[in-house]
Amino acid sequence: MKNSKQINLELVFDPSKSVFDYLDMMYDCSNFESARSEYKFVKKGINKLRKKRDRQNETTKHYTVERNRLNEEVRAKINEVRKLISLRNLENLQVKKLKKKRDNLTNEMRIMKANPPLFNQKKWDELVESHQESHKEVQNAAQDAQSSHEEVVKKNQLIDELRSGAESSHKQLKGSKKKADNFHNILVVFLERKNELADKINASEEE
């Protein structure tokens, strides 16, 4: 009798193969003394194939759930990124506005400094103070925008990783489904033979 490793490697559905070919692969037997003897092995094969198919279907289900979970995370992260990009754009606009305000103050200071007759110490002190405050506002706004940008980059990297995981799960899902379908197709061959044998046995008992 062949071990389970050999069975997994060899049991591949082939329309040209009969139930006897599969029984030979699974149990090293294809010649039977009677229909009842064959029926016994066919039932045994059905139980084994059904278990294999069902286990493979569970594996497929696991990969399906994992793929769907990862795709859902991707969608959620994409929405987060869109919101962050909107926030970053608003923050960048704020930086531009604050820079313009600071530049205007800088120009006022240059004009006053270049025209001694127009120089007013009190006004100058106010301009210096306003310029310093404006510069701090620009720095803070730029820092906020940079922080939002870094968060966008970080989340985009996470999205790439999640997508890669989802693609991997989908690939494993397809492979697992193919294996499950393979076992199911062979199982159908066994079920058909079981029905044929059952009819044959019943007919012989009625004679």
pLDDT of 207 reads 56
What end-to-end distance do the CA atoms of the chain give, in Å?
36
Q: Quick one: average pLDDT of 146-162? A: 97
Helix axes 121-206, 19-27, angle to 10 degrees: 100
What's the burial of 201, exposed, middle or buried (CB within 10 Å: 0-12/13-18/19+)? middle
pLDDT of 3 reads 52
Higher local confidence (pLDDT), 118 or 108:
108
Q: Quick one: average pLDDT of 165-183? A: 97
Q: Quick one: average pLDDT of 10-21? A: 90
pLDDT of 4 reads 47
pTM, two decimals, is 0.77
pLDDT of 82 reads 97
Residue 87 scores a pLDDT above 50: yes
Mean pLDDT of the chain: 92
Higher local confidence (pLDDT), 100 or 3:
100
Q: Quick one: average pLDDT of 64-68? A: 98
The DSSP symbol for 32 reads -
pLDDT of 118 reads 83
Q: Can you give the residue range of the structural domain that contains 53?
A: 4-206
Total domains in the chain come to 1
Q: Is the dihedral of CA 177, 179, 182, 183 positive or negative?
A: negative
Q: Give the model confidence (pLDDT) of 33-58 as tens digits.
A: 899 999 999 999 999 999 999 999 99
pLDDT of 6 reads 47
Q: Is the dihedral of CA 66, 69, 72, 74 positive or negative?
A: negative
DSSP percent split of the chain into helix, strand, coil, nearest 5: 90, 0, 10
Query: What's the CATH code of the domain at 125?
Result: 1.10.287
Residue 29 scores a pLDDT above 80: yes
